[in-house]
A and B are shown apart, each in its own frame.
Chain A
Amino acid sequence: SAVISQKPSRDICQRGTSLTIQCQVDSQVTMMFWYRQQPGQSLTLIATANQGSEATYESGFVIDKFPISRPNLTFSTLTVSNMSPEDSSIYLCSVDSGGTEAFFGQGTRLTVV
């Protein structure tokens, strides 16, 4: 199993600002994943964060809007840049356990006003 510490747990931000979300894993993992869960909807993969290379973004998500860092095998950050109210959502980081079970951080509930 994996234990993920994600912070902040929630934030209220002004439009046009940026927020960086951090995830710390208790073990070394090759890939970390960032998801968005909009109100009343399911999880959508934003990008896969690989250590030592650029993140791989899914269709509809771009690096300028969601820059990701992966400085080592236990840590990653996601920044939500130039925020608008449409970015209000829950953001979750995740790791896989050998391709079977996925473990999630507690989530960051973001409200943009």
Chain B
Amino acid sequence: RKEVEQDPGPFNVPEGATVAFNCTYSNSASQSFFWYRQDCRKEPKLLMSVYSSGNEDGRFTAQLNRASQYISLLIRDSKLSDSATYLCVVRGGKLIFGQGTELSVKP
């Protein structure tokens, strides 16, 4: 079992759609959780941290369920510029990256 597993993707959605990404992690001792965004041929960049209480940043909402070892990212009113690969990242000492879920938003 992979340490961090994400929806396989790709997700192809129209502009304005709501899309949800799921992620599970295997190490119950993991300490912190993140969603990173990676554009094609670019380095990953932090999108948002994920907290047990849930957190929202504009159109993006991230949630963490420690009991289920599950992380989610919801994107509302998706834009063309949201097209990228979204990486679920878990820290338990070192950073462990999920394989990424590709999102393509079409006009």
Kindly state whether residue B17 has any CB partner on chain A within 8 Å. no
Q: Determine, out of B52-60, B66-74, B91-99, the stretch whose residues face the partner at the interface.
A: B91-99
B42 at the interface (CB under 8 A from A): yes
A: number of interface residues (CB 8 Å)? 17
Query: Residue of A at shortest CB range from B100?
Result: A42
A-B interface pairs (CB < 8 A), number: 37
Scan A23-43; emit 1 where CB is below 8 A from any B CB, else 0.
000000000010000000111
| B97 and A43 form a contact (CB under 8 A) | yes
In the assembled complex, A66 has its CB within 8 A of some CB on chain B: no
Q: Is the CB of A45 within 8 A of B99?
A: no
**In the complex with contacts A100-B32, A100-B49, A43-B91 CB distance below 8 A:** no
Please name all residues of chain A whose beta carbon is closer than 8 Å to the beta carbon of B99 when the two chains form the complex: 41-42
How many Å from the CB of B77 to the closest CB on chain A? Answer: 25
Query: Chain B interface mostly helix, strand, loop or mixed?
Result: strand
The answer, yes or no, to whether A12 is at the interface (CB within 8 Å) is no
Interface segment among A13-21, A67-75, A76-84, A102-110: the answer is A102-110
* B43 and A105 contact, CB distance less than 8 A: yes
Q: Is B106 part of the binding interface, using a Cβ–Cβ cutoff of 8 Å?
A: no
Docked-complex contact A48 and B32, CB < 8 angstroms? no
Once the chains bind, are B43 and A104 in contact (CB under 8 Å)? yes
Find chain B residues with CB under 8 A from A41 CB.
Answer: 99
- A55 / chain B contacts, CB cutoff of 8 Å: none
Residue among A44, A45, A92, A99 making CB contact with B43, cutoff 8 Å: A92
Partner of A43, one of B32, B41, B44: B44
Q: Once the chains are docked, how many angstroms separate the CA of A105 from the CA of B45? A: 10
Chain B residues with CB under 8 Å of chain A are 32, 34, 41-46, 49, 87, 89, 91, 94-95, 97-100
> CB within 8 Å of B: which residues of A?
33, 41-45, 48, 92, 99-102, 104-107, 109
